[in-house]
Amino acid sequence: MKAAAAQAERLAESKAQLAARNTTAAAQIDRMTDRIETLGYGIEAGEATPEDEAEQAALMISLKTWKAYKFALGKVTAQAAWPTAPVWPTEPAIPEIEASPMLVEAEEI
């Protein structure tokens, strides 16, 4: 009985950790996608600076990395060690976005 309870607790912990990592990944993907689209508007309008274009290019690389991370998270539950000892993919670096709407929202709270 104790073993079953411990196993159920470990499963719940692993699921919670997976959900938290997925939430973080989704938020970062949304944040970068928004900024890339915003910079794209300036590029399309011919008003973007070379710095804007460089920022968009760098964010596109980060976005690809975060999408690969989120995809890898989707495979964690298929591991033989799930849920007792999952091997988590390495979380990518969080890019700094000065004009991030999420940054403004966090400051207002």
pTM of the complete model beyond 0.75: yes
How far apart CA 106 and CA 99 sit, in angstroms, is 13
**5 has pLDDT over 60:** yes
How far apart CA 18 and CA 45 sit, in angstroms, is 41
How far apart CA 74 and CA 98 sit, in angstroms, is 30
**100 has pLDDT over 90:** no
**107 has pLDDT over 60:** no
**103 has pLDDT over 80:** no
pLDDT tens, residue by residue, 12-70: 999 999 999 999 999 999 999 999 999 999 999 999 999 999 999 999 999 999 999 99
